[in-house]
Amino acid sequence: MSKKRIVALVLSLVVIFGLGFAGYKTLHQSAATNADNTYTTTQKKADKSSSSSASSSAASSSEQKAAAQSESTGTKSTSGNTTADSASNESISKLGSGKSGTTTGTKSNGSTQTTGSKSAATTNTTAKTHRSASAATATASHRAVCSIVVRGPIKEGNKVLMSQSNVTIHSGDKVSTVLTRVAKAKHIAVAYQGTGNSVYIRGIAGLFEFDKGSGSGWLYEVNNKFPGYSAGKYKVKNGDKIQWVYTANLGKDRHAPVSGQR
* 15-49 residue pLDDT tens: 887 787 776 667 766 555 554 555 444 454 545 54
* 178 and 146 Cβ atoms separated by less than 8 Å: yes
d(CA 150, CA 164): 9
Q: Could you tell me the fold of the domain covering 144-254?
A: Ferric Hydroxamate Uptake Protein; Chain A, domain 1 (2.170.130)
Question: Dihedrals φ, ψ of 211, to 5°?
Answer: -70, -25
pLDDT at residue 225 tops 90: yes
Instruction: Give pLDDT, residue 16.
Output: 85
d(CA 4, CA 89): 125
Question: Dihedrals φ, ψ of 195, to 5°?
Answer: -140, 165
The predicted model gives 74-95 an average pLDDT of: 41
d(CA 256, CA 109): 78
pLDDT at residue 218 tops 60: yes
Instruction: Give pLDDT, residue 51.
Output: 43
Instruction: Give pLDDT, residue 8.
Output: 81
The predicted model gives 205-224 an average pLDDT of: 97
pLDDT at residue 64 tops 60: no
Instruction: Give pLDDT, residue 6.
Output: 83
Instruction: Give pLDDT, residue 244.
Output: 98
H or E stretch covering 17: helix 3-95
The predicted model gives 140-159 an average pLDDT of: 91
The full set of domain ranges for the chain reads 56-90, 144-254
* 259 and 247 Cβ atoms separated by less than 8 Å: yes
* 257 and 225 Cβ atoms separated by less than 8 Å: no
d(CA 41, CA 51): 15
Tens digit of pLDDT for each residue in 90-132?
A: 443 443 444 333 333 444 455 545 555 556 566 666 667 667 6
